[in-house]
Amino acid sequence: MSTPLPPFPKRPEPADEPMLMELTSPGDVPQLRADAARNRARLLEAAARLVEEHGVGKLTMEAVAVAASVGKGTVFRRFGDRTGLLMALLDHTEQRFQAAFMTGPPPLGPGASPVERLHAFGCRSLREASEQLDLYLAAEPDPSRRFNSAPYRVRFMHLCVLLRQADPAADAELVAQTLMGYLDPALIHHLTRQRGMSLERLESGWHDLVDRTVRPPSGQGR
């Protein structure tokens, strides 16, 4: 069963800081009136409770409607379908992670060397995925869209920036794709649940992969 999702935050006002990219595109989540925003939050809280109590496999639009005491049509109008609901559940988790590596404290955020940040990014990604693994797998876009989804793009771009800083001679785009493959929820599922590997072993493997892949300029290190 998944780790309980954190409380759903209120949508922040725009600020002079890097834009956080959500799983759902801006067109999918229009600016809502206060009452509509509260209703959306209530539906998501009901869905999160169902996932916590019964697992993501039992999450249906009908179950959310019953738990939130609304009509089924209300849930469909708000999220479109089950995939839309799952993606909305992950939005706040993704935004929190993005805020941490964009503007949070080091070593994940600015202030540490790029290699230190790469090490911290992978470990945090592994923990985030493992805590909500069933939800990440259920919300996985189809193969034709997975590499173009908003969360994938922003994580990939972040890795490219760090790789260019750490090793200017490297092909940052291809190396970033390789590193992203190690953090794929499907691979994490295979290694931890089917192969029985511990999260600590995966984190150690990430450190080894970064050390073998990135050759930082003299004076930089983990």
3-state secondary structure of 110: strand
pTM of this structure? 0.75
Q: What does the pLDDT look like over 123-179, one tens digit per residue?
A: 999 999 999 999 999 988 777 778 888 889 999 999 999 999 999 999 999 999 999
> pLDDT of the chain along its 222 residues, tens only?
455 655 554 444 333 333 444 444 444 444 557 777 888 889 999 999 999 899 998 899 999 999 999 999 999 999 998 888 998 888 878 989 999 999 999 999 999 999 999 999 999 999 999 999 999 999 887 777 788 888 899 999 999 999 999 999 999 999 999 999 999 999 999 999 999 999 999 999 999 999 999 976 555 544
3-state secondary structure of 217: coil
Tokens found for residue 160: 């490219």
Tokens found for residue 73: 């049509």
Show Cβ contacts of residue 8 under 8 Å, excluding neighbours closer than 6 positions. 41, 44, 45, 48, 92
The runs of H, that is alpha helices, within 12-169 are 34-54, 61-68, 72-79, 82-103, 114-131, 133-138, 150-166
Domains, in order of start, for the chain? 6-10+31-80 (1.10.10.60), 85-216 (1.10.357.10)
pLDDT at 120: 98
3-state secondary structure of 112: strand
Long-range contacts of 42-46 (CB under 8 A, 24+ apart): 42/68, 43/68, 43/70, 43/74, 43/75, 43/78, 43/79, 44/8, 44/88, 44/89, 45/8
